[in-house]
Amino acid sequence: PYLDENRINITLPSLRVDNFSRELMERIQGVRKSSLTFAPEAGTQRLRDVINKNVSEEELMRTAGIAFSGGFAMVKLYFMMGLPTETLEDIEGIVHLAEKLIDLYYNTPERSKGKTIQISISCATFVPKPFTPFEFEPQVSREELLKRQEHLLSCIQPRHRKKIKVSWHTYEISLLEAVLARGDRRLAPVIERAWQLGSKFDSWSECFHYEIWEQAMQECGADPAFYANRNRAYDEIFPWDHLDYLVDKAFFVRENQTAHASETTPHCRAKCSGCGVNRRVGRACF
C-alpha cells in the first residue's frame, strides 16, 4: 500500500516458478506493469534434473499463464550456459521454451490486446564453485561457449526475432570468477599484481580490463586454465579441503555422480540425503 500511495513501481528479482501466485502478481502491479523474471536455468528437463532444479516446464507454463492473463507481456528468463553434460539439444531447448511461451501468450484470452510479447533471454556462463557437487567440473572453454552462443541464435526462427532478445555475460568475467573461486594461495601475488597494475573497481563492467589480469597471471606464472578449465579427480586435495562446512566431501561426490545420471535429489525436508551435517551436529536437521 505504501508503494501504491507514493506511486512507486516495484520490480522483483528472479521469482520461483513453483510458488508464483495470482495474488503476488496483483500486488506488484499496483502502479504499472513491468516485467517478470524467472530462472529456469536450463532449456531441457534433463539438464534441469542434472543441476537438481526441481522445476518442470509445466510449472513454468502455469506461472506464465497467470502472468499473461494478468496483463504482463514482458518476461525475462535466466539460463546458465556451459553446465555439466550440456549438449546442443539443451541449447535448442532454451529457444523452444521461449517459443512455447510466445504461443501460450497468444492463446491466452485474457492477455493485453494490442501488445506484443517480449521475451528476454539472459545466459550466464556457468562457474563451478567449491562446496558444491560441481566443484570437480571444468568451466567450458571460450571456443566452446562461442559455438553454443552462435547455435542459440541460429535456432531462433525469423518470425520470432523481434519477440526474443538474447544477451549473455562477458566470458572473461566468468573465467576470472572461476579462477578466483577455485584458486589456491598461488593466486595471492596475482591479485596483488593486478591491483598494482590498476585493477580496482572490477565489478563495474566499464572498469574491468581482463588484459590486466592476464598480464598479472603471466608475470606470476599462473595458468587460468589450470584453475578453471580442467576436470578434477574425486580424490584430489582441494585448496579449500581444510575448511569445515560440516558437509562431507563424499556427499558432493555422490551428488556429482547423481547429476551425471540425470537424477534429482529430494529436498532435505522431504528426505535426508546424508550430507553429514546431522551426524556432525548430533541431531536431525529437520
pLDDT band at 249 (very low <50, low <70, confident <90, very high): very high
DSSP string for residues in 48-104: HHHTT----HHHHHHHHHHHHHTT--EEEEEEEES-TT--HHHHHHHHHHHHHHHHH
Taking residues 236-245, what's their average pLDDT?
94
Domain ranges of the chain: 2-183+222-281
Query: Given this model, what pLDDT does residue 210 score?
Result: 96
pLDDT band at 258 (very low <50, low <70, confident <90, very high): very high
Least confident of 16-25, 179-188, 273-282: 16-25
Taking residues 127-137, what's their average pLDDT?
97
175: exposed, middle or buried (Cβ count in 10 Å: 0-12, 13-18, 19+): buried
Tens digit of each residue's pLDDT (9 = 90 or more) over 137-184: 999 999 999 999 999 999 999 999 999 999 998 899 999 999 999 999
**pLDDT of 10 over the 90 cut:** no
Query: Given this model, what pLDDT does residue 14 score?
Result: 74
pLDDT band at 72 (very low <50, low <70, confident <90, very high): confident
Tell me the average pLDDT of the chain: 91
Query: Given this model, what pLDDT does residue 179 score?
Result: 97
**pLDDT of 247 over the 70 cut:** yes
Q: Which of 184, 84, 182, 180 is nearest to 125 (CA)?
A: 84
Question: Looking at the domain 2-183+222-281, which fold is it?
Answer: pyruvate-formate lyase- activating enzyme (3.80.30)
Tens digit of each residue's pLDDT (9 = 90 or more) over 93-110: 999 999 999 999 999 988
pLDDT band at 248 (very low <50, low <70, confident <90, very high): very high
The Cα-based distances of 191 to 127, 187, 202 in angstroms read 19, 6, 12
Tens digit of each residue's pLDDT (9 = 90 or more) over 185-213: 999 999 999 999 999 999 898 999 999 99
Whether the Cβ atoms of residue 191 and residue 131 lie closer than 8 Å to each other? no
pLDDT band at 30 (very low <50, low <70, confident <90, very high): low
Q: In this prediction, what percent of the chain has a pLDDT beyond 70?
A: 97
Query: Given this model, what pLDDT does residue 270 score?
Result: 87
pLDDT band at 32 (very low <50, low <70, confident <90, very high): low
Q: Look up the pTM and report it.
A: 0.88
Taking residues 58-69, what's their average pLDDT?
88
Cα gap 270→265, rounded to integer Å: 10
